[in-house]
Amino acid sequence: MPENPKIISYNTIRRSVGVLGISLPVIISAGAYILGNCNEIQSSVSLYYNTIMRNVFVGILCAVALFMFAYRGYDYRDRIAGISAFVFALGIAFFPASKDMVINCKYDIPQLRHPGWIRTIHLTSATLFFLTLSYFSLCLFTRTDGKPGSYTKQKKKRNVLYRICGFVMLMSIFIIALWMLVLESKFPHLEQYHPVFWLESIALWAFGISWLVKGEVVLKDK
């Protein structure tokens, strides 16, 4: 008996979102290194907007936004969360801003100095985007359809992964906020390790993993 085409399309969306989330920091950092001669990791993922990878950065975020807009899920909560993630992803893409400037890039495009209100929109969009993704993992993905036998052994394992990914995203957001508000001024020497970039990357990888699991790449019910 063939699978319902709607289920196939939903899983395709989930897998696509997962792949894009995991690949974003890898593609832009590797691309900037290879094509833009950026010999050092930038201070944040968003800062790659000011490198040769600008169009790739915006393109991936727009693709994620489109998939989120198309996502339906089981009920109105999935729909509201999907529309919210769509709006916030576009906010990140079209209001990109960082207080820092690109470093150690021999080939980069003109760097833009954005007014404070654009940076506020960017940071707010990024925070709300990851909070929405955490909500997906912790509250929406862990549900069942209510049918007898739907809470399988594989479903229990998937729920553990969803919760781990959700908490990793929340913890990453918290540490980034703590760094920006308190730690950066007290421990400026740690900036050389690019903590914001790596925390953002960890959050994106957690986000991608949870959506790949939801797309039944692993731990699929037999």
Assigned domain for 221 exists: no
Assigned domain for 219 exists: no
Spatial separation of the C-alpha atoms in residues 62 and 220, rounded to whole Å:
29
What predicted TM-score, i.e. pTM, was given to this entire model? 0.89
What is the structure's pLDDT at 118?
Answer: 87
What is the structure's pLDDT at 151?
Answer: 75
Assigned domain for 103 exists: yes
Into how many domains does the chain fold?
Answer: 1
Assigned domain for 207 exists: yes
Spatial separation of the C-alpha atoms in residues 4 and 94, rounded to whole Å:
36
Q: Which sign does the torsion angle of CA 195, 15, 61, 81 carry?
A: negative
Spatial separation of the C-alpha atoms in residues 10 and 5, rounded to whole Å:
9
Q: Which two tokens stand for residue 113?
A: 């100095």
Assigned domain for 139 exists: yes
> Cα 42 from chain centroid?
17
Domain range spanning residue 109?
A: 5-214
Assigned domain for 94 exists: yes
> Cα 182 from chain centroid?
24
Encode the chain (222 residues) as per-residue pLDDT tens digits.
Answer: 445 555 557 788 899 999 999 999 999 999 999 998 888 899 999 989 888 899 999 999 999 999 999 887 778 899 999 999 999 999 999 998 766 677 778 765 666 666 778 889 999 999 999 999 999 999 999 987 666 666 788 999 999 999 999 999 999 999 999 999 999 999 989 989 999 999 999 999 999 999 999 998 988 887
**Strand-pair partners of 38:** 105
Assigned domain for 222 exists: no
Beta carbons within 10 angstroms of residue 80's beta carbon: 13
Assigned domain for 127 exists: yes
Instruction: Name the maximum alpha-carbon separation found in the chain.
Output: 62
